[in-house]
Amino acid sequence: MDENNETTCWETNEVNETPCKNKDCRLWLKCKAAKNCTILAAKEGPKTLQEIGNLHGLTRMRICQVEKEALRKIRELVLGT
């Protein structure tokens, strides 16, 4: 995001309907259907573990493991357990 311009690269790509070419962006992923952007892929709505795995080149089982670990960490932060 530019300091003078509040538009992000994914907003520009969404408006122009162009794929992102900025491979240095932390939101970039190799997926033409999502215009190479994690944000645009997420805006399409809920996805299955398999679909998320396909986007990131991982198995659905690995995505499940990551999800469980993330939920555990959130629970620890919120509940202090």
What CA–CA distance (Å, rounded) separates 6 from 26?
Answer: 18
Residues 6+ apart with CB under 8 A from 34: 40, 41, 44, 55
pLDDT at residue 40 is higher than 60? yes
37-61 burial: b if 16+ Cβ within 10 Å, else e: bbbbbeeeeeeebeebbbbeeeeee
| % the chain with pLDDT above 90 | 31
Q: What is the mean pLDDT of residues 71-76?
A: 95
Please state the domain extents for the chain. 1-45, 46-81
* pLDDT, average across residues 46-66: 92
